[in-house]
Structure 1
Amino acid sequence: MTAAEAGPPGPRPAARYASLAVTAALAAVAGLAFHRVFGYGPVIPVAAVAATVPTLLGGLLSGPRRSGRPRGPLWLALLLTIVAWAATSALTVLRPAPAGGTLPQTLRDGVLNGWKEILTTLLPAPAEPRLLVPVGVLVWLAASGSAELALRTSRRALPCVPALAVWTVALLLGVDGPGTNVPLAAVTVVLIAVLVLVRSGGPGAGPAWRPLALGVPCAAALGALSYLVAPVVPVSADPYDPREQVQAPPPQRRDGVSPLDRVGGWLLRPDQVLFTVESGRTEIERLAVLDAFDGVTWSNTARFVPTGGRVPEGPVRERAHTTTQRITVRELPGVWVPAPDRPRRVDGLPVVADPAAGTLAAARPLAPGQAYTVTSIVPEWTADDLADARLADDAEARAALHLPWGPGATEAPVQLAEFRKFARAATQGAATPVQKASMLAEYLKRYAKYDVTAPPGHGYRQIDHFLAESRRGTPEHFAAAYALLARSAGLPCRLVVGFAGGKRAGDAVQVRAGDVMVWPEVKFEGLGWVRFDPLPDNARRSGGNDAVAAGETAEKLEQAQKNAASREQGAGQEMTEKKRRARPAVRDEPTPWWVFASIAVAALVLAYVLAVLLAPALRTRRRRTGEPAARIAGAWRQALDHLADVGLGTARTLTAHEVARFGASSVGEHARGELVPLADLVDRSRFAAAPPDAAAADRAWRHTDAVGRLVAAKAGRLRRLRRRLHPRSLTGR
């Protein structure tokens, strides 16, 4: 071996084995970062097993002998770890056996499709085996890779890289999940520091406990500092969410019969108990949101996604209250799951949720006796909120203004013109959007009568007949007429089917078929969808003295709407104009993506320039310290770095004196006087019986510094700067 090949000593065999415990802990902590996806309960056993087994297997197969040579080839370790992973997964993640498929099918489906199902599931995701398989795979690969790197390489921090890769995946998949990863990140910082300390010792480096005794307290302090500082680190943008790049499932009809088509039949059997509600507060129960109309039928266009029970929150309202209900299904058909607006958590029943509207649907048709608990945050509005509200103008609101011609129609139906005339007459004199919406509801209340025997139907022809001739209808007719008239008047409107009131039976309220409601909702900017009630005041919802009211929230909303509608039109118009003048003319636009991309590129370039400029200085400082032999070897490596500026390529095949002759021919005879004594010192340091002393190391560095000055004068600044910016400057020779 030549002097040019001298390198830093690797960690002791004992340190390599000790670092396995640290790498296993790093992999396990990285696996626990998936708690924002599944919660800690399902993740802890998967992460523990997937981090421990491959680490033990790697230690048995790849551990060094006393001679330092590995026990087995890498391909054998990889083959055995694949077999061990399949067997361990079958006994842990997939036990008990999954329904609907064999173990190999579930493993294959989890590896290939589990990540996509996680991205299309509302967090926390259900702890199903096929979804937990990707977590086990990633943690297993990280633990196995870290163990192999710890046993087969001498790099101190390199074994932590696989665990950091798992961290990256966990952060991306859990960006929208509950909880925080700050404590786990602090623990990871401590473990990386401990890993470097454990692997820092080499032959002749002194007792192994010395760096640990000094470094572990510093590592713990660093982790504590990371934990305390992380919550207050300023972040100027929302984190990247890969779910925005994954297409949600397409809209699909969840039930063969629309809830709106069931309204007429329910009203003819008013005493049929559909479900019971146990709660300290009575609320209106929403069943289904119908936002699309084709001229004949109202339907739902929700993109339902699986969920472990969480439902994303809607528009944040300052005034809202939280309610929790225990609902038991009795004779409610279909898959639609009743809940107050807006549900945030469902337990006890597997459901899919529409993130936009907050509606819920069961995976299978509901059965009598099924029970679940739902927690909702119900928004509230005041007359002041409604009086100053403007109509929404987003994509959802624009879609809620559409009045189609009808299936197969080639021209607009004549009813549309009649609806526009009716809407203008009903809202004449309205000064604000809320006044227009409230006046339309009040007009319909006085215009028609409530009649449960009216023929069902909500298409153009049926609503035209209801408005022009019969003037009698069910909630289906009143709500559908309001929606068509509202859209004709420029109000974005949709329909909701639900239930209000019920019959008290002990601690529960029995919600019966006669309590069914259909109401329209109009979307306002900053308020979201606001419910309006066009039904006459004498409309029968529940009969008997034991009937309960629709709820305090519904009564407050109706009163606020009446107050907003009764304000003088002139005052309302004046207030609206003042508000408009007070608002800025131009809305704040979101910062374009290319601005963040440019900042990121500039930051990376700056970080790279700083790294390539600082790395040589830090490397030189490290080479000047240590035992005299290590300092002489460092001086020689520093001289080789200098000579690279004048064309020295690889020095692995050259002796020290051959390198000195190259330097003399490339730099000049003055360099010979410095390189030859330096080469003699290097050879004596490596091959002499007695170790060198500190004076020899000082002479070696004086020669190296002189060579550096001579090379700088010979090579020129431009050539040296170009070489400093090369990636090789990060690692040296």
Structure 2
Amino acid sequence: MLAGAVLGGLCFAPVFGVTALLLPVLVVGAAVYAVTELCRLRAGVAAWRPLLVVLVGLLAVVETVLRGTTAFGVPTAESLRALGRGLTAWRSTLESTWPARPEPDLIVFVPLLVLLACLLAVELLDRAPPLVAVLPGLLVAGVGQLYIALDGAAAVLVAFGYGLVLAAVLAPDTQRRASRSFAPLVAAVVLTAVAVVGSAVLTAFDPAGRTPYTLQQLQSAAAPVTRQTNPLDELASRLTPNNAGTVVFRYQSPAPVTRWRQVALDQFDGSNWSTDHPVLRLGSDLEPGPDVRVGVTTQQAVVEPKNLSGPWLPGQALPSSVRGAVDPQVEPVGGTLVTREMPERYELTWSKPTVDANLLVQAGVDPQPQLGELGAIPNEVAALATEALADRRATFATALALESFLRKRYSLATTEPLPTGHGWPQLRRFLLDNEPGTSEQFAAAYVVLARANGIPARLVVGFRAPAEPDADGWYTVRNGNAFAWPEVAVDGVGWWPLDPAGQATAGTKATAGTEAEVTDQARAAVPPVNEIEDPEVAPPAAGEDKSSWDGLDVPVLGIFLVSAGLLVLWLAGVPLLKSLRAVRRRRRPGDAAVVGAWAEVRDRLRDHGVPVSPGMTVRDLAVAAADVTDARANAGLAVVASSVDRALWSGGAVGPEISKQAWAGVREVRRGLRSRPWLDRLQAALEPRSLF
């Protein structure tokens, strides 16, 4: 039981890491085991067992997780307060990206859960069947799955571990092996095989192509920062002559950087652009999401904010970590970074997809992007979108064609006052009246036209990187570098930036090794929109769902099907064979039918754990089954015994009435056994030993 609870706690390993969980979870399990064994040896303290389990278990949590709150290892008032905060740590963990930082205030709820499961398992073991006592550990594992669902080898190992726990709980007592049923052990072995192989199969494919459910989808950090003005609303004021020269931040990076982002916006109500994706506390390291399936390289930069009002931190599309900021938070879908207070300096680490131009040109768009609502598009703008791409299917090539359409058809505003705004009135003037626009209108117009053509796009606000560093090797970013751009969700690559306004590199050649250079090469390879060929989509063969079984190893599938077949054969086949055997025995001629009734009663009682020896008579069996049978079953046994005496020892012919009498006794035995607990009756029905 305790091993099952400990295993359930280790199911939180994807959230905090195995190293952080192993010691506290194991120590809690060992502490509960020691207390339980002590209470078994000392009968006088047995009544205090639940309280002792809780006290010793909490002490184990304090010493392994909350050691910093103790005074020379002795718990203090702060230790008690930390334990109290642990009751809400489950929610704080949901407000973080995973793997979360293994901080005591977060991780403490896992050993507390294990302690509760151990306590319930120990107490249930004395009050309920063993299988019921396994449930607390399984519930802890289930909670872990709601945080992050295990997959691959981890899922197989956990399934195998619980199979071993089940087998150990239900295995026959070695001291009473002859009288105990082997059905639970057979069940444990078969279920373990199905669970292990089934977990391997289920992690090999996803028929619906869906992201596994997680409680984190319902939770967002109660951001300790006050939401400031949308950076998109500040864009125009940054570009005014009075503000353009103001230094915003400086950075230093060993690798070239094209642009810095502040916020990604994917929701439009006709007036304002926004986003409603959850903001989470940044955990240990944030890995690229499942939408990025190409290789990535790690890049770093040191950033010194100068005149940033916050809370937006300059960042990159796939941030991994932020060092030096107080309680950094991230909106993982958009890569937006925010912080409680602007640091003097921080170190940013991020992932950069490794792709080439040929891959981009041939790529499709993400079929399931995470995007907010766009709302109704005016008819004349929708008609313009159709004109721009000539009804071509959404691909990255058509996304580049749409960028080219905007660059060629519309002009960039260069004179004061610069146009401002990004709602439908401003976009109508820009798209339909051909008024010049800034990157603000170019980016907003691109996203609207792209979404109208089925291209998943969003609007990003940030800064372009200066072309040259200062004398000290640092790059200085000013308000005049602020601009907006669209990003397109590319299948397998993630979000990729475009530049319909042509401002990302400020008219200079794109730096080698940057996404701007790769995009320039892809632009050169894309033909005019009317020459772009729609990709062929081959439908799956009749009766075959390719998406469900791609990548599934045939031997694994065969093992799974065989295991599942054995399970079904056991659950349905054993009761069926017993019924057919009873019918065959009853239809025997003469005294053979009476002997068949005796055999039927013998085997029924064997299934219920009654020991049967070869020389046993019906009356001997009745004595051996006294703990199993009730008065009705005993009466039935007496009828069978009388019938057997008359059939075998009277010396006379056996008529049909003797056979009917014997089988009437069998029916009474069966009805008497129905008074036994349902779990015992189920176990007897599935017991295969009496078939041999």
Q: Normalization by structure 2: what TM-score?
A: 0.67
SS in structure 2 opposite 1:449? coil
Map 1:553-592 → 2, pairs under 5 A? 553-566=515-528, 569=530, 571-572=531-532, 575-576=533-534, 579=536, 582-583=538-539
Report the Cα distance in structure 2 between the residues aligned to 1:508 and 1:496, rounded to whole angstroms: 27
Deviation at 1:495, TM superposition (A): 0.8
1:308 maps to 283
2:460 matches 1:476: no
Deviation per residue, 1:511-538 (Å, 9 max, x gap): 5134433112345777765533112469
1:136 maps to 111
2:16 matches 1:41: no
The 1:106–1:538 alpha-carbon spacing in structure 2 relative to 1, beyond 3 Å, is closer
Report the Cα distance in structure 1 between the residues aligned to 2:354 and 2:315, rounded to whole angstroms: 14
Report the Cα distance in structure 2 between the residues aligned to 1:464 and 1:154, rounded to whole angstroms: 72
2:426 matches 1:451: no
2:328 matches 1:354: no
Native 8 Å contact 1:642 1:708 kept in 2: no
Deviation at 1:379, TM superposition (A): 6.1
1:174 maps to 148
Native 8 Å contact 2:9 2:110 kept in 1: yes
Deviation per residue, 1:320-353 (Å, 9 max, x gap): 5323324434224423344433345666654444
SS in structure 2 opposite 1:496? strand
Report the Cα distance in structure 1 between the residues aligned to 2:323 and 2:152, rounded to whole angstroms: 16
The 1:361–1:424 alpha-carbon spacing in structure 2 relative to 1, beyond 3 Å, is same
SS in structure 1 opposite 2:310? coil
**Equivalent of residue 399 in structure 1, options 370, 373, 379:** 373
Return 189-198 or 122-131, whichever deviates more. 189-198
Read off the aligned partner of 2:469 and give its amino acid letter: R
Deviation at 1:142, TM superposition (A): 3.7
Report the Cα distance in structure 2 between the residues aligned to 1:489 and 1:445, rounded to whole angstroms: 18
SS in structure 2 opposite 1:139? helix
Deviation per residue, 1:182-225 (Å, 9 max, x gap): 5566566667777889974599x9xxxxxxxxxxxxxxx99x99
1:297 maps to 272
Native 8 Å contact 1:51 1:143 kept in 2: yes
SS in structure 2 opposite 1:302? coil
Deviation at 1:317, TM superposition (A): 5.4
SS in structure 2 opposite 1:579? coil
**Equivalent of residue 347 in structure 2, options 371, 382, 390:** 371
Report the Cα distance in structure 1 between the residues aligned to 2:659 and 2:147, rounded to whole angstroms: 51
Read off the aligned partner of 1:532 and give its amino acid letter: L
Native 8 Å contact 1:124 1:307 kept in 2: no
Any stretches of 5+ residues in structure 1 without a counterpart? Answer: 1-22, 206-220, 404-415, 592-600, 650-658, 675-706
SS in structure 2 opposite 1:127? coil
2:501 matches 1:535: yes
Map 1:431-470 → 2, pairs under 5 A? 433=394, 437-446=399-408, 447-451=410-414, 454-463=418-427
Q: Normalization by structure 1: what TM-score?
A: 0.64
Deviation per residue, 1:484-533 (Å, 9 max, x gap): 45566776542112334334368965251344331123457777655331
The 1:146–1:549 alpha-carbon spacing in structure 2 relative to 1, beyond 3 Å, is same
SS in structure 2 opposite 1:367? coil
Native 8 Å contact 1:479 1:534 kept in 2: yes
The 1:421–1:713 alpha-carbon spacing in structure 2 relative to 1, beyond 3 Å, is closer
Map 1:339-350 → 2, pairs under 5 A? 339-343=315-319, 350=327
Deviation per residue, 1:640-665 (Å, 9 max, x gap): 59966xx636xxxxxxxxx5xx4576
Return 170-179 or 292-301, whichever deviates more. 170-179
Deviation at 1:308, TM superposition (A): 1.9
**Equivalent of residue 642 in structure 2, options 669, 672, 678:** 669
Deviation at 1:114, TM superposition (A): 3.9
1:255 maps to 227
Count of residues in Structure 1 that have an aligned counterpart in Structure 2: 604
2:40 matches 1:63: yes
Report the Cα distance in structure 1 between the residues aligned to 2:677 and 2:168, rounded to whole angstroms: 32
Native 8 Å contact 1:397 1:523 kept in 2: no
Deviation at 1:51, TM superposition (A): 1.8
Deviation at 1:554, TM superposition (A): 1.9
2:473 matches 1:496: no
Report the Cα distance in structure 1 between the residues aligned to 2:452 and 2:138, rounded to whole angstroms: 57
Q: CA RMSD, aligned part only?
A: 5.7
Report the Cα distance in structure 1 between the residues aligned to 2:235 and 2:415, rounded to whole angstroms: 9
**Equivalent of residue 52 in structure 1, options 14, 27, 30:** 30
Native 8 Å contact 2:228 2:311 kept in 1: no
Deviation at 1:633, TM superposition (A): 13
2:632 maps to 648
Native 8 Å contact 1:343 1:377 kept in 2: no
Deviation at 1:25, TM superposition (A): 5.6
Native 8 Å contact 1:486 1:492 kept in 2: yes
Native 8 Å contact 2:413 2:419 kept in 1: no
SS in structure 2 opposite 1:399? coil
Native 8 Å contact 1:515 1:541 kept in 2: no
The 1:628–1:178 alpha-carbon spacing in structure 2 relative to 1, beyond 3 Å, is same
SS in structure 1 opposite 2:249? strand
Deviation at 1:289, TM superposition (A): 0.8
Read off the aligned partner of 2:439 and give its amino acid letter: P
Map 1:84-103 → 2, pairs under 5 A? 84-86=56-58, 88-90=60-62, 92-97=64-69
Report the Cα distance in structure 2 between the residues aligned to 1:708 and 1:91, rounded to whole angstroms: 72
Deviation at 1:276, TM superposition (A): 1.7
Deviation per residue, 1:288-313 (Å, 9 max, x gap): 11112233332222222345245464
SS in structure 2 opposite 1:325? strand
Deviation at 1:39, TM superposition (A): 0.9
Deviation at 1:475, TM superposition (A): 2.3
Native 8 Å contact 2:268 2:375 kept in 1: no
Native 8 Å contact 1:642 1:711 kept in 2: no
Deviation at 1:481, TM superposition (A): 3.8
Any stretches of 5+ residues in structure 2 without a counterpart? Answer: 71-76, 180-188, 549-563, 579-602, 648-657, 686-692
Read off the aligned partner of 1:482 and give its amino acid letter: Y
The 1:466–1:418 alpha-carbon spacing in structure 2 relative to 1, beyond 3 Å, is same
The 1:510–1:664 alpha-carbon spacing in structure 2 relative to 1, beyond 3 Å, is closer
The 1:550–1:457 alpha-carbon spacing in structure 2 relative to 1, beyond 3 Å, is farther
Deviation at 1:277, TM superposition (A): 4.2
Report the Cα distance in structure 2 between the residues aligned to 1:458 and 1:610, rounded to whole angstroms: 69
Report the Cα distance in structure 1 between the residues aligned to 2:229 and 2:267, rounded to whole angstroms: 15
Identity %: 24
Native 8 Å contact 2:275 2:372 kept in 1: no
Report the Cα distance in structure 1 between the residues aligned to 2:496 and 2:170, rounded to whole angstroms: 59
Report the Cα distance in structure 2 between the residues aligned to 1:289 and 1:441, rounded to whole angstroms: 19
2:584 maps to none
